[in-house]
Structure 1
Amino acid sequence: MSTYSNFNKSLEERFIKYAKIDTQSDPNSPTCPSTLKQKNLGRELVLELLEIGISDAEMDDNGYVYGTIPSNTDKQIPVIFFCSHMDTSPDSSGENVKPIIHDKYQGQDLILPDDPKIVIRIADHKDLKHQIGNDIITASGTTLLGADNKAGLAEIMEAASFFMKNPEVKHGTIKVLFTPDEEIGRGVDKVDLKKLGADFGYTIDGETLGSIEDETFSADGAVLKIYGVSTHPGFAKGKMESAIKILAEILNTLPKDTLTPEATHQKEGFIHPVSMHGQVEEAEAQFIIRDFTDEKLAEHGRFLEETVKQVLAEYPKSSYTLEIKAQYRNMKQVLDKHPKIVQYGIEAIERAGVAPKQQSIRGGTDGSRLSYMGLPCPNIFAGEHAFHSKQEWVSVQDMEKSVQTIINIACIWEEKG
């Protein structure tokens, strides 16, 4: 079997090309994609897919990119897909990204030239200790890099190119899916499952080398509105009940040592206020609620409401509404019913010469929702680190191992078909 080799540095060249295209998504935009500039990258990806021979490559009106690598085996193999997202996080600028390659990293702190205050310290980024001798790509200090998830895009594109150039490597039908707006939770809102035409897949959007993630948070969103009593402040004694102050008291009453992101890790969930605004008469806060089981998620929702009622007991003229909506659910509940999908992913990582790390995500992926749309979908490492920040970095050698893992996954499904 032919083995993938990045001999001409096409992998990092692809990645750097993608990183330079601003694709930041916008949570306040109602459109799909939320920013038209995401389509600039989508068009580039379609052109590249066509160039390597994927003749049905296209981008739809909503910014989703589709393509098919045809089967070259006589076996009846399930149709698998590989997915990465094109947008970058709203948390840090993605405009005028200047990627820098730090050749043969030797363990030093990386000072980024456009803002020397931004330093990627090996003491703070423990995975850098495993990168001695590797080539590290960073941004220049004023933007994020966009390895989340343009590393995944480049890796899938490299694997697609490999398959098209090496027809002797047997595989079933492979679908490619590139999505917009994953960073704002809308990554599969308008995906065309009929056009995708797959049985299951793998998102390429993980962090540490060798990681395969088959479990995510379950997630709810909550909107709390407080309705107070407004009067002229000069004549307010015994009358005014300020919605702003009531909301502040509720937030202050919530636990500080538990049930909050800054005090939890591993399998611990939380209630997290993400925005608030208001006036004396009415105030609103939005929350995200997270845990790994639906039961605990429901408990957190009840606890939030009990806290609201406890505080409002002191304000008899005021009232509230609390609306809690499901966002996504732990994909493990689906993947456990299809064990081969994760098992073959683990074997593919091992064949790439890497120790697999089966992990949980304290977050979600496109795969979380795709799993509940009938397409079981674990998450494979892309090598991205410190995402959503100006300290973001990725290792070229880790990216190469991700490409090999993608190729191995398709080959294993054909071998065992």
Structure 2
Amino acid sequence: MRLSLAFVLFPLITVSVAAWSSQSPKHHGSPSRTRSAQAVGHEAPSLIDFQRRHFQEDVLIRLHSSRQPNQQSPLTKLSVSPISDYSKELAESTTTLVDDGNFMVDQDAEYQRGLAVIMVVTFIFAGHSPLAHAVFSLTDKPPPVLLVNAGAAISALCSLFLLKPVLESTSMLDTPELSDELALESRDDSNDLRAGFEMGLFKTFGATLNFYGLSLTSATHGAFLVQLTTLFVPVIQGLMGVPITKRMWTAVGLAMTGVLLFTQGSDGSGDATLIGDGLCVASALFLGAYDLSLNRWGDKVPPVTLITNKIASQAILSSSLLLAFGGDEIWDYIHNVVLSGEMSTNLLAFVAIAVGNGLLVNAGASLLQVRAQNAIGATTAQVVYATQPLISAMLSYAFLHETIGAPGVVGGAMFLGAVFLAGNPEPDIAEEKPFWDEASQ
């Protein structure tokens, strides 16, 4: 009952964050950029050194990109103007920016709202494993996995058409940079369907294996093992020829050791649990392939189109799996539920997982991520996402009374450390070092 109450509150939290974020301005950038931009608006630009000039030019060009495509600006001549003309244009441009509003305040507010949304999204993702495991383990006649999987995918598709107009009206799906970039170049619309099908295929197998795994292992195990996606992605990239840093190899080794300790130090044991753990690891592999596919198509297809086609493909593929392999299980489930006299309880369990996963995880959280992750950056988002197993373990302990032994605690800590390590890639010194440090050398 407490678990059901917790997930009843999820939509309210999501809608509240959506309403709050709707007040966000349509600027994008990082806090370091905003502080520098404010400094540009208050300093005399006539006596600036080479490094500061190029830094300011970069900032102003980024700010200029947020304007309308056809709007004239003196910034278009920055690269060829002499220093005196540059200073004049810089002063005029920064004056215009200051007149437009408090840019630094707007950007800080955008970052804070984006971070809050990502935290809510992380909490929603973390709640998936406890809810799914509860449906499969706390009912006498749990619904078939393929039925749950198809129900969640269809629920996500229906929820998408309900949520998208609401989020579009609050400007939460606004991505002006990508929209302008795609508008300036000819785009092959055939990529839209291809990208959606590819991502939907990987997500279907990942979600199906995850549901099967959670029906056999604990919610805590499932949450930790699925988070292996964070480590599988760079390893897969390494197999494709992308160099892997020493930090990433360290994270992979630490994670493997942590997982070994974690799976040996929990309440669950036996063949069923080990099979469930293996299915969750396989799920992480497919979800890693899904992430790589998202990176591949993310700059070629508009975000909302990509998400819509992915969810539609996932619904079609999941329903096909159900019809092809789950026919007998469906009839047995319906027959047993009707004869048991507990139809209301079993139906509530099925609706809870289908709506909870479809509405919140697949549709709502995916749409909320579009703007929020763009506001705070991929690296910061990955660090927040890395807390999912810990939050899931807390929810499992509070609502399902799952515990882990001392080896599990040590292994879990090692695994979380590896995920945080993988989520913080080694910085590019040439890009990250401030211009005043370079100028002092």
Normalising by the residue count of structure 1, what TM-score does the alignment of the two structures yield?
0.24
Normalising by the residue count of structure 2, what TM-score does the alignment of the two structures yield?
0.23
| Structure possessing the higher radius of gyration over alpha carbons | 2
Higher relative contact order (Cα pairs below 8 Å, separated by 6+ residues): 2
Bigger proportion of residues as helix: 2
